A and B are shown apart, each in its own frame.
Chain A
């Protein structure tokens, strides 16, 4: 399925389709500019996402989930594969052509403390994208922005205030309002709640869910917190060292995890009940450096079930029914 992507027609139902996406960063270059070694941050990732759905991407730090999100938005140029957004291949579009499409895809960053300009007021931050993209006539910008602020749970008198006057949760609301100001179809949420406290986290997650229903948004929700991802997602992709090791609907992934890494990840979450006893699979060792990934299956150095074949051959990413895909040699037997 993965080899002949170019010949395949676009799925009309999918708003976002990613085929064999690769992203490499050069590590060393010769004097002539030839790349001699590179870091493969995203390796052969493929998935489809329907409008109105939420895809949760989980993985540990350094697994390439943020790079994947940014490459989909073309904030980094991709090194291979295709990105099809709304029935259009956007992989090789020029930046001037991208400007039109940028309106429809937005991003919410992790750290609300560093992603807002300190010298503009909330009103300024929110009206700028509206004016740049001509969303509404100039005379209506202010009322449009105030309306948007109300939707995101911001009071109208915040319009004249500066970002430093707000707490983390409110700043994240401003970031969300900014992303939604251009009426996007797709929003990439890059760890939007991990910098926030638990009680504020719940407010922001509920807001994101509410806005999704109201505006029919599609989310790619990147997080390292499985319980948050489970709460918000329809589909889940688990990444390890740059590649997608498992992908499927939320129900499939949680009731029947296939890949040993997914199982270990689930069992590693501390359970908020002192009497709860879990058979924890504690993975040994650290994540290998993505600049020098292990041969064969990338997970074999930490996998409790690794066999000889895992050290030699890269497992194939296969569909095990109902779109539940995984890449593991154990499943093939």
Chain B
């Protein structure tokens, strides 16, 4: 690391800003355009998937340069499955979920390339695939909050403090079903609160967020996500702000609900324990890319990428009795000006010559197991 690697002169900053402005203008115009539905219809590559993320690139155009927060991410979410996305902070897992919801904060943040195909269900019950990345922002409410719902990390800040829980829950029903009467909305809200295991739903309906504990607020958030009968729930670190005993309650609830609502869950977390318990499929991300994906058993019993192995070893468990903890040296690389070679090279203990070359492509190990690492590419080549 050179001493002034982060320093830019005023001239350079202006130059970057000028270039950014051009690209952002173009992308913003595309986002705000008016378009017919036929323009953003898509075709699912597998009808059993609810969501297919294909080579997604989400960039942030900052004055220091372009931050490639999500840099070519692809994975699928099958119907009725829980897909866990795991990685450390800054690896792009939240930005991926925000891209699916089209909640990336513009103008700096933009979906630059790639497609997000979502298998929506129209009012008549027929399936219809949309490309979320192409939907103009004025039409996104057809999907967002209606077919895909999100549970955020911080239940304390996600609820509006000046409205009662009831008012906030009713709003969801009114937006997605404008013909509903007040009584219908209230009945639906109370039913939802009951569904998430709140003991006295009528009382909670009339209370303000500050009157509830953290666990209760997260339950309200979950009930709000369920109010529109979504097909996919994105849970972005749903239990990070909660205590372990409350976390156990919420995880139990999510598992129960998945079978009740007959939907899929995309679970984003940094805790491998939660993933092992909840997920059917696991996607491991590092520095904006997917480095390994597979079923939960493949990832936990046969991890291949050195980062996945290191991550699992560096977590102290209740069973382990070793004296020192395994650790991955170094830090996550600077997201601006990422190198061309494998992003994990500097921290990797199994580095080989080939690692200085191009970024490794996805190598298929089994029908469901993929890894992006040169170590396995060689094996595959020599075997066949």
Given A60-B245, A198-B315, A226-B318; A282-B276 close (CB under 8 Å): no
Tell me whether A280 and B215 are in contact (CB under 8 A).
no
Q: How far is the CA of A202 from the CA of B168 in the complex (A)?
A: 42
**A288 → chain B closest CB, angstroms:** 10
CA distance A125 to B249 in the complex (A): 43
Could you tell me if B300 and A199 are in contact, using CB atoms closer than 8 angstroms?
no
How distant is the Cα of A198 from the Cα of B89 in the complex, in angstroms? 10
**A99 CB to nearest B CB, Å:** 36
State whether B243 touches A60 (Cβ < 8 A).
Answer: yes
- Contact status of A287 and B243, CB under 8 A, knowing A157-B3, A202-B314: yes
User: In the bound complex, what is the Cα–Cα distance between A264 and B311 (angstroms)?
Assistant: 26
Chain A's closest residue to B212 (CB) is: A286
Q: How far is the CB of B93 from chain A (nearest CB, A)?
A: 12
- Complex contacts, A269 vs chain B, CB 8 Å: 244, 273, 318
Q: Does A270 contact B (CB under 8 A)?
A: yes
Q: With an 8 A cutoff between CB atoms, is B297 at the interface?
A: yes
Chain B hits for A271, CB < 8 A: 273, 276-277, 317
| A59 CA / B317 CA spacing, docked (Å) | 17
Contact A286 B318 (CB under 8 A): no
Interface size for B (C-beta < 8 A) is 47
Q: Indicate with 1 or 0, residue by residue over A221-247, a CB within 8 angstroms of chain B CB atoms.
A: 000101110110000000000000000
Whether A186 sits at the interface, judged by CB under 8 Å, is: no
A198 to chain B, nearest CB (A): 5
Q: Which residue of B lies closest to A59 (CB)?
A: B243
Q: Which residues of A contact B244 (CB under 8 A)?
A: 60, 224, 226, 265, 268-269
Q: Which residues of A contact B317 (CB under 8 A)?
A: 227, 271-272
A332 close to B (CB within 8 Å) = no
Q: Which of A200, A228, A268, A273 contacts B300 (CB 8 A)?
A: A273
Contact indicator B276/A270 (Cβ below 8 Å)? yes
B246 interfacial by beta-carbon distance below 8 Å = yes
Report A252-283 residues with CB < 8 Å from chain B CB. Answer: 254, 264-276, 280, 282-283
- Asked whether B276 lies within 8 Å of A199 as measured between CB atoms, the reply is no
Q: Is A206 in the interface zone, CB < 8 Å from B?
A: yes
Q: Provide 16 A-B residue pairs closer than 8 Å at the C-beta atoms, listed in order of the A residue.
A: A199-B310, A200-B88, A203-B329, A224-B244, A227-B315, A254-B318, A267-B248, A270-B251, A271-B276, A271-B317, A272-B272, A272-B273, A272-B275, A276-B276, A286-B216, A286-B246
Question: B296 near A169 (CB under 8 angstroms)?
Answer: no
Output the nearest chain B residue to A284 by Cβ-Cβ distance. B249
Contact string against A for B residues 313-352, beta-carbon threshold 8 Å, 1 for contact and 0 otherwise: 0111110100111111101100000000000000000000
Residues of A with C-beta under 8 A to B243? 60-61, 224, 287
Bound-complex Cα distance A282 to B190 (A): 24
Residues of B within 8 A of A231 (CB): 316, 320, 325
Q: Is the CB of A266 within 8 A of B318?
A: yes
A150 to B292, CA, bound (A): 36
> Top 3 A-B pairs ranked by shortest CB distance?
A270-B273, A202-B327, A202-B314
B139 at the A interface (CB under 8 A): no
Q: Total A-B pairs in contact (CB under 8 Å)?
A: 120
Closest chain A CB from B280 CB (angstroms): 9
What sequence of 0s and 1s flags, for each residue 252-286 of chain B, a beta carbon within 8 Å of any chain A beta carbon? 10000000000000000011111111000000000
Does A205 sit within 8 A of B, measured CB to CB?
Answer: yes
A318 interfacial contact with B, CB 8 Å: no
In the complex, chain A residues whose CB is within 8 Å of the CB of B315: 198, 202, 227, 272
- Contacting pair B3 A264 (CB below 8 A): no
Could you tell me if B327 and A282 are in contact, using CB atoms closer than 8 angstroms? no
A20 within 8 A of B: no
List chain B residues, Cβ under 8 A from A284. 249
- Assess whether B247 is interfacial by the CB under 8 Å rule: yes
Chain B nearest CB, measured from A187 CB (Å): 19
Contact of B245 among A167, A265, A273 (CB under 8 A): A265
Known: A203-B328, A271-B277, A272-B315. 12 other contacts (CB 8 A): A167-B332, A198-B88, A198-B270, A202-B315, A231-B316, A264-B245, A265-B244, A270-B271, A271-B317, A274-B296, A274-B301, A282-B245
Tell me which of A209, A224, A227, A282 contacts B249 (CB under 8 A).
A282
Measured CB to CB, the closest approach of chain B to A211, in angstroms, equals: 13
User: Closest CB of chain A to B345's CB: distance in Å?
Assistant: 15
B270 to chain A, nearest CB (A): 7
| Interchain CB contact under 8 A, A227 and B297 | no
B300–A274 CB distance below 8 A: yes
Most buried by A among B89, B244, B271, B310: B244
CA distance A29 to B300 in the complex (A): 56
Residues of A within 8 A of B323 (CB): 209
Best-surrounded residue of A61, A271, A275 (most CB of chain B within 10 A)? A271
Interface presence of A201 (CB below 8 A): yes
Residues A197 and B270 in contact in the complex (CB < 8 Å), given A268-B245, A275-B297: yes
Q: B49: CB under 8 A from chain A?
A: no
Among B3, B247, B271, B277, max chain A CB count under 10 A is at B277
- Kindly state the separation between the CA atoms of A157 and B252 in the bound complex, as whole angstroms: 49
